[in-house]
Amino acid sequence: MRPVGVRPAVEGHDWRHFAEIDAEVRPLLKLVDHRHLNDVEGLENPTAAVIVDWFFDRILGC
């Protein structure tokens, strides 16, 4: 067990540059920005958990 507050070094294969994440998320944000979430396909019941799943599935390409 490692001490509290000590984080392992970041390895090259398990991180992503913020610009890459931004490029994937920005189009999704445009789909929901200034809209009633109930009108967005897949978000008819827009609870926090459903919204997280909706974004997660689309970011992963599921």
Read off the DSSP letter of residue 3: P
**37 lies in some domain:** yes
Q: What is the pTM of this model?
A: 0.66
**25 lies in some domain:** yes
How confident is residue 30, by pLDDT bands cut at 50, 70 and 90?
Answer: very high
Is residue 7 predicted with pLDDT exceeding 80? Answer: no
Long-range contacts of 25-34 (CB under 8 A, 24+ apart): 25/55, 25/59, 28/55, 28/58, 28/59
Range of the domain at 44: 18-60
In this structure, the number of other CB atoms found within 10 A of the CB of residue 54 comes to 19
The total domain count for the chain is 1
